[in-house]
Amino acid sequence: MAYTIEAMKLTVYVPGSVPYEEALEWQYSLVEKRRAGEIGDTLILLEHPPVLTTGRRKQEHNILINTEALKIPVVKTNRGGEVTYHGPGQLVGYLIVDLADFSRKIKQFVHNLEDVFVCFLDSEYGIQAQRHDKHRGVWVGDDKITAIGLAIEREITMHGFAFNINTDLDHFKWIVPCGISDKGVTSLEKLTGKKQDMNTLIPRLAEVYREVFSYDSMELIYGRE
């Protein structure tokens, strides 16, 4: 069951493709503005050029390629979780949210975030996705379609999710995705058998996010702040 947020507005930025480190600095800037009360809760929906990112722990053993030879950047971050891949065709969502509005219940917050994709995939595509007993994220069978990894900076969230839409799944062979060696990954394109229109999909997903988290209104902004 989603939380009820009274008189709350969600701002959603859709800037297109943004280099990972540039987007990371943007997140830190928005976190400070959210903490200062200068902005409300914010969701960024974007794509990245190919990049590998890691969480707080050392994860070199889960990277299976020579990243320098292939010129694939590896960025260490403050989020939870293991190594993951971002690239074109994958919709990455960054959540700048004050957890004080959610009674500081991070487990329920993540549960609701997983609900967004379970509901979206069911209502829009008739795909039955679910949670996994041991692993975070959203799964279709034994294949992960949405990875989730958050960081909390003094009660303000950052980072978020990576939703495989038209993602090149061969790129996941560069790593042990999220440190899980006995499971696979999938994409919406693979499950439906056709490439998806990101421009059509993004506002529909944003609306499901707004509904699950019970925001009163939403402003969709194409571009940066």
Query: pLDDT averaged over consecutive 10-residue blocks of the chain (225 residues)?
Result: 60 98 97 95 98 80 88 88 91 96 82 97 97 87 94 93 97 80 88 98 98 96 91
Q: What pLDDT does 103 receive? A: 67
Token pair of 34 as six digits: 């959210």
SS3 164: strand
Q: Give the ranges where the chain is alpha helix by DSSP (H).
A: 20-35, 67-70, 106-125, 188-192, 198-212
Question: Is 82 in contact with 55 (CB distance < 8 Å)?
Answer: yes
Q: What pLDDT does 65 receive? A: 87
Domain boundaries, the chain: 9-222
Q: What whole-number distance in Å separates Cα of residue 121 and Cα of residue 126?
A: 6
Q: State the chain's maximal CA–CA distance in angstroms.
A: 51
Q: What pLDDT does 202 receive? A: 98
Q: What pLDDT does 183 receive? A: 77
Q: What pLDDT does 1 receive? A: 39
Q: What pLDDT does 134 receive? A: 76
Q: In this structure, how many other beta carbons lie within 10 angstroms of the beta carbon of residue 70? A: 9
Q: What pLDDT does 207 receive? A: 98
CATH superfamily, region 9-222: Bira Bifunctional Protein; Domain 2 (3.30.930.10)
Catalytic residue (one of 178, 185, 202, 212): 178
Q: In this structure, how many other beta carbons lie within 10 angstroms of the beta carbon of residue 214? A: 15
178 tagged catalytic: yes
